[in-house]
Structure 1
Amino acid sequence: MLTATGKSIVSGIAVGNIKIFRKPDRSISDAPAEDPAAEVKRFEEAVEAVIEQQNDLYEKAVEEAGEDNAAIFQVHAMMMEDDDLLDAVKDCINDEGHNAEYAVRQGFEEVAHMFEEMDNEYMRARSADIRDLENATLDVLMGIDPDGIQGTEPAILVAEDLAPSETISLDKSLILGIVTRGGSATSHTAILARTMNIPTVIQCQEIDDSWDGMTAVVDGYNSSVYVNPTAEILKVMLERQEQDQKEAALLEDLKGKESITVDGTKVKVYANIGGPEDVEAVLENDAEGVGLFRSEFVYLNTKGNPPTEEEQFNAYKDVLEALAPRQVVIRTCDIGADKQVDYMNLDHEDNPALGFRAIRICLTRKDFFKTQLRALLRASAYGNLAIMFPMIISVRELVSARELLEECRKELEQEGIPTGPMEVGIMIETPAAVMIADELAEHCDFFSIGTNDLTQYTLAIDRQNDKLDPFLDTHHPAVLKEIEATVEAGHRHGIWVGICGELGADRDLTEQFLRIGVDELSVNPKATLPLRKVVRGLDLSLPEKVEEENFR
């Protein structure tokens, strides 16, 4: 047996076979084509295979996501029949003597660059479609099976690291546990793992490709991975897994009960989600609402171009209708930093966390932003919607965002499209926002404190840099004082204040949060019932049982 250690992100026990997640190697040789005619034939056969693949994806998407969401695959199939694209590749083979793989790379990139140089934003976005098709064609030529990357059987997924876009595209029903060599506790991959409640260990340096196919146990309680466990270890781990299942069954008794302390203090216990696929978890765990719908994952789920107004409207409407009358707080697009999509064509930045992201993108690409705002306003007619703007650092930004929202509302009224009432708030996730919280509160219905970024910016610690984990103190007095100051400012202006970052699920801080007046805690769905249990066991009329005050 091999015991490997790392840092636990999600407690629990996972038992199963290991599947090594290997990104496809598309390294291409510039070796000349010995038989150009044969290379052209290989390319033509690959084109036919990709067209068939895109048509199959279209049929699957129609069933799972509807006609509008599936249309992109029809567009891809038509693109693969474009004469300019096909001729660019064939000329590279016939005239320049290159092999099919090299010609595909050159030909598709040439066409992609042509789209990028166009004035029309929609046409520029097509460059990402071309690159998607380039990779699909190379996969056929090089014998890469995209489905083989994850496999088709439930397994413990082991990887160097996972980008948010990779994590979101995985079939979560096949993931028993996650182990990565890299990663940080506050990365969005870690957040997704918590949302899925999958036992996860990161920063496991002993990872080795030879583990592929071996039986293993992910021990999220002890930050360990046991590869080829002994019979004794396996027995102990299975017993602990069974104990977890029994404890989860006991929490079922809390469903339908209020999140209220012994002395009568109520707090809203909401859930954080990434999209419609998480609604079932919200309902299963009896969350009282959604405090953070990360709408950027609707963007990460869309290949080739941004989601249309109709696609977004359907996604938001589905969630609102399924959860009504529960409140659903949707954060507007927070693309940037560690959440990148090719079609946004964002420039490389040396320090993206401090760069062009979130509201900064939206206020400078107003057509892009208005597409989402229109979709949100349309969806507001179907449930209890609230929206919040991320990364606000000034009153000017907040006022500009609200003016665009009102502009969209008036457009929809003129078009005869109904909208509903909704609260509008902001994320408090920078020290600047904390410092001017009183001024911001005058233009808001609520604050939601994003403790992950607030901690990052307050402590000057990059949340994506695992080397800084030894210096990270999530209970740092400065962060806790900022939370208290934000709550006080919000209440002075009669608005409610919640926490939607990871600290909301930190049950060591629950009592302190309730004592300073936090109105709402939004956590991953699986954490809602354990948090409700803690809340219902508190009596705030009694002196606080702490040796040292966290907030002063």
Structure 2
Amino acid sequence: PTNHPLHPLPNPLPHPLPTLSGIPTSPGIAIGPATLYQPKLPELPEPLLDDPKRSWQELQTAIKTAQNQIQTLHQKVATSEEAAIFDAHLLILQDPTLLEATHQQIFEHSLCAAAAWHTVIEQTVNTYKKLDDPYLKARAVDVSDVGQRVLRLLTGIVAVLPDMQEPGILIATDLTPSSTVELDPNKVLGICTVAGSAMSHAAILARSLGIPAVMGVGNELLHVENGTLLALDGETGNVWIEPDEAHLKELQIKRDSKLNTIQASRPNAHESAKTKDGHSVKIMANIGGLSDVEIALKNGAEGVGLLRSEFIYLQRTSLPTEDELLEVYQAIAQSLSPHPLIIRILDIGGDKPLPYLNLEPETNPFLGWRGIRLLLDYPELLKTQLRAILRASYGYSIKIMFPMIASVREIRAAKVVLSTVQTELRQAGIPFNGTMEVGIMIEVPSSVTIADQLATEVDFFSIGTNDLSQYSMAADRTNPKVASLADALEPAILRMIQQTIIAAHNVGIWVSVCGELASSSVATPILIGLGVDELSMNPLAIPGVKATISQFSMNEAEAIAHHVLQLDSAQSVREYVATKFS
């Protein structure tokens, strides 16, 4: 290990400044020796060939084997969000554009299978990286991951996973989804990468595995030598290289306290979430499909606060029919019954385009044709989904939620379509719940400023802190250079949450928070102190959040919330809350 002499500051800080900082992507504290992971790329054989037919057959065999390998990874993951990552990988292997281009390289340019495939994958990855669309730019990692898998099969090179001689922190330029999902949490205590963001596929998988992670740290990270003691905090994005003894002990205490809280919370996960003085808060799950319901209930969810309809659409090559949607919604509602189910209407565009809709590329898709804007322009797409949800609501506790509402006229237009569908169902004698609650996502700044007007139009609000922080801070959360700015703990965002809650409660409607912030132990006392009625989160985070809620009273939560609204940064908010639970 490198030995950098430590020179004490003239006025020592109670919390030493981090050596490096990045984007907090998976919560928890990790301490251990560094292991640098730099996987070697397969070496290409002689590019020219004599038998193009045999080479094409070799490629087909490699692709088939790759499909089987990815199916195995697909079965390892827990939630629909993670499964969707590997669904996308399978679609890449079937991409006719890739296959046709590779066929051309083999038969017209006389390249062997490995050289032809490598050429096409490199061209595709470079094309994606140059695009402005953040969704497509991020897809370059997936194309590269799939490309390397097939290339290894063609060249006979076995994928080498990180060689962790002892438990420690894995450092790398970036991690592919395939590498991340294979990590052993008993060996990999933490992840720290040069690239990546909170919404990258590697980050999603790290959170699922429960491995603390900080990404987007920068190239300085690669100067850390193997064996150097590292500490990282996946909730603040701070990384310390060779922390001093006092700070190391403090981090160990904080880490052990969090781990003990999580362990102690599991047996009580099915109890209601209550503060020390008995104030109840509903804890719900965010899910993407039927397979998530069992995980949600097992972890103590009191219902589903967000069913992301887009997963049903993204896993297909054509639009689902009304009956197909009805079957999915009924199956989920039945598995969840008697608990409530909130279905968010299809939220596509921006970072979630549907390839089979053939939407034109946009210069800035996050500020473009997405959410309710797109659906109102595709009334039949909206009506099909509304009919399926209304039919599924008969006999079940189903609520409906519209995404990306930025104005009163948008929710009124959506309600007109809903009313039309209700009338059609009544006339056809098809039963549905006529008193089903209707809500909206609060995720753009304009909806916060007119929350008082919107509150008179609906039965509930659900605050989507991921998009709200991105739009309010003018920072793309998929861009590592600015993603740290889109921090939902910024006092500006917390004030917007407060404003929304006050507007809702003034007219008697309830408020949920369903973004990543809902699962943050730092945010829990703040959100409850601000008056949030319901928190909806990744199912795996539920036991820990319930345990956190039991550690403070409502008066304490309100005092914390009042104080942090006056602070000047997200970092100050984190530090203040830490002092209250140290």
TM-score by length of 2: 0.65
Amino acid at match of 1:432: S
Change (3 A) 1:150 1:311: farther
* Deviation (angstroms), 1:426: 0.6
- Match of 2:493, as an amino acid? V
Distance 1:387 1:189 in 2: 31
- The gaps in structure 2 that reach 5 residues or longer are 4-18, 79-83, 122-142, 568-582
Q: Deviations over 1:57-110 (max 9, x none)?
A: 999999x99xxx9xx99x99xx99x9xx999987886677666678889999xx
- How many Å apart are 1:393 and its aligned residue? 0.8
Find out whether 1:247 has 2:264 as its counterpart. Answer: no
| 1:406 to partner: Cα distance | 4.7
Name the structure 2 match of 1:121: none
After superposition, the C-alpha distances for 1:355-397 in whole angstroms (9 at most, x for unaligned) are 2322233333344444544443454347432221211112332
- 2:336 aligned partner: 323
SS in structure 2 of the partner of residue 248 of structure 1: helix
CA shift in 2, pair 1:290/1:209, >3 Å: farther
Over 3 Å counting, the alpha-carbon distance change for 1:318 and 1:160 in structure 2 is farther
2:401 is aligned to 388
Residue 282 in 1 paired to residue 282 in 2? no
Equivalent position amino acid for 1:540 in 2: N
* 1:489 matches 2:503: yes
1:455 aligns with 2:472: no
1:11 alignment partner, one of 8, 28, 42: 28
Quote the sequence identity (%): 36
2:62/2:150 contact within 8 Å kept: no
The match for 1:540 is 555
Larger displacement relative to structure 2 (470-479 or 220-229): 220-229
- Does 1:550 find its partner at 2:538? no
Q: Which residue of 2 aligns with 1:365?
A: 378
The one-letter code of the counterpart of 1:500 is C
Question: How far apart, CA to CA, are the structure 2 residues paired with 1:529 and 1:33?
Answer: 58
Report the CA distance shift for 1:458/1:141 in structure 2 as closer, same or farther (over 3 A).
Answer: closer
Distance in 2 of aligned mates of 1:23 and 1:397: 52
TM-score scaled by length of structure 1:
0.68
Asked if 1 retains the 8 angstrom alpha-carbon contact of 2:42 and 2:152, the reply is: no
d(CA) in 2 for partners of 1:150, 1:183? 19
The letter of the residue matching 2:565 is: N
Shift of 1:483: 2.0
In structure 2, the partner of 1:446 is: 460
Give the Cα separation in 2 of the matches to 1:354 and 1:490: 26
Task: Write out aligned runs for 1:505-524 (5 A).
Answer: 505-508=519-522, 510-524=524-538
Q: Which residue of 1 aligns with 2:512?
A: 498
Match of residue 411 from structure 2: 398
Partners of 2:527 and 2:388 lie apart in 1 by 34
2-structure distance, mates of 1:149, 1:314 = 42
Question: Aligned to 1:376, what secondary structure does the other structure show?
Answer: helix
Shift of 1:325: 1.9
Q: Which moved more, 1:490-499 or 1:461-470?
A: 461-470
Q: 2:346 aligns with which of 330, 333, 337?
A: 333
State the Cα RMSD in Å. 5.7
Query: Residue 190 of structure 1: CA displacement?
Result: 4.8
**Change over 3 Å in CA distance of 1:189–1:332 after alignment to 2:** farther
Instruction: Tell me how many residue pairs correspond in the alignment.
Output: 513
Match of 1:349 among 352, 362, 366: 362
CA contact (8 A) 1:295 1:331 kept: yes
Q: Distance in 1 between matches of 2:161 and 2:343?
A: 30
Rounded to whole Å, the distance in 1 between the matches of 2:463 and 2:229 is: 38
Of 286, 294, 314, 2:308 maps to 294
SS in 1 for 2:217: coil
2:274 matched to which residue of 1?
260
1:239 & 1:489 partners in 2: Cα distance?
A: 40
Name the structure 2 match of 1:125: none
Q: Is the 8 A contact 2:273 2:549 kept in 1?
A: yes
Contact 1:504 1:521 in 2 (8 A): yes
Q: 1:42 aligns with which of 48, 55, 63?
A: 55
Q: What's the secondary structure of 1:291's corresponding residue?
A: strand
Helix, strand or coil for the counterpart of 1:393? coil
| Whole-Å separation in 1 of the counterparts to 2:557 and 2:118 | 69
Match of 2:479? 465
Q: 1:203 aligns with which of 198, 211, 216?
A: 216
SS in 2 for 1:448: strand
Q: Take 1:93 and 1:100, find their aligned partners in 2: how far apart are those partners?
A: 7
2:193 paired residue number? 180
Whether the aligned pair in 2 keeps the contact of 1:24 and 1:144 (CA below 8 Å) is no
**3-state SS of the aligned residue for 1:442?**
coil
Distance of aligned partners of 1:89 and 1:40 in 2 relative to their CA distance in 1, 3 Å threshold: farther
SS at match of 2:447: helix
Cα 1:461–1:48 shift into 2, 3 Å: closer
**Cα deviation code 1:199-254 (max 9, x no counterpart):** 21212335659999x9998754686789999xxxx999999877655432322454
SS in 2 for 1:540: helix
Q: Write the mapping of 1:36-115 to structure 2, written as runs, cut at 5 A.
A: 38-47=51-60, 50=63
Structure 2 distance, partners of 1:473, 1:61, is 31
Partners of 1:519 and 1:354 in 2: how far apart?
Answer: 30
CA contact (8 A) 1:497 1:519 kept: yes
CA contact (8 A) 1:40 1:100 kept: no
Letter paired with 1:444: V
Secondary structure in structure 2 of the residue aligned to 1:286: coil
Deviation string, structure 1 residues 171-217 (Cα, Å, up to 9, x no partner): 478665544322345778656654654321212335659999x9998
Aligned to 2:138: none
For residues 466 and 327 of structure 1, do their structure 2 counterparts lie closer, same or farther at Cα, with a shift above 3 Å needed? same
Partner of 2:444: 430
Counterpart CA distance in 2 for 1:203 and 1:6 is 8
